[in-house]
Amino acid sequence: MMIGISISTLTLIHVVLSLIGIGSGLVVMAGLLTRRRLDGWTVIFLITTAATSLTGFLFPFQKLLPSHKVGIVSLVVLAVAFLARYAFHLAGGWRKTYVVSAAIALYLNVLVAVVQAFEKAPALKKLAPTQSEPPFVVTQIIVMVAFFVLSIAASIKFRDKIA
C-alpha cells in the first residue's frame, strides 16, 4: 500500500494516464503537422504525460531504475515544452523548441509503453524475453525513426501561420 492506495490501483491510474498522454500526444502531433495548435489537446497531453512520469515515482523501488531516468528526462523535456508554449508563447525559436520537446516527451512515453508491452504481453515476451532480441530492437528502432521523422516534419510544418 502506497499513499493510501493499492499498487494495483496505482498501476491502473499510471497506465490510464499514459494511454491518455499517448493518445492526446498523437492528436497534438497531428495538429502540428496541419499547422494547428489544438490548445485543449495540448493541455491534456502535457498534464497527463507529466502525471505519468510523476506517478512512476510512487511505485516502491530500492534503486534508481532506467524507467526513473526516462521519467526524469521526460519531466525536464515537458518543462521545456510547457515554458515554450505558455511562458514564451511560441515566439521565435521557442516554436521549434516546443515542437521538438513535445515530440521527445511523446516518444519517451511510447518508448516506455513498448518496453512494457514486451515485458507484460505474453506473445511479445516470448519473442523477446530479455528485450535484446531482434523483434524488440527492430521495434525500438522503428519507433525512434518514426518519431525522428515526425519531429522534423512537425518542425517544418508548424511555422508562424497557424489556425
Q: Is residue 1 part of a domain?
A: no
Please give the average per-residue pLDDT across 132-155, as a whole number: 96
Specify if 69 maps to a domain. yes
Instruction: Quote the percentage of the chain above a pLDDT of 90.
Output: 91
2 in a domain, yes or no? no
135: its cell numbers: 523483434
- Asked if the structure places residue 162 within a domain, the reply is no
The residue range of the domain holding 60 is 7-157
The total number of structural domains in the chain stands at: 1
d(CA 150, CA 65): 28
In a domain, 163, yes or no: no
Q: Assess whether pLDDT exceeds 50 at residue 58.
A: yes
> Is position 55 within any domain?
yes
Q: Looking at residue 37, what is its pLDDT?
A: 87
Q: Mean pLDDT, to the nearest integer, of 81-98? A: 95
Tell me the C-alpha to C-alpha distance, in Å, between residue 101 and each of 12, 65, 76, 115. 27, 23, 9, 21
Confidence of residue 3 (pLDDT cuts 50, 70, 90): low
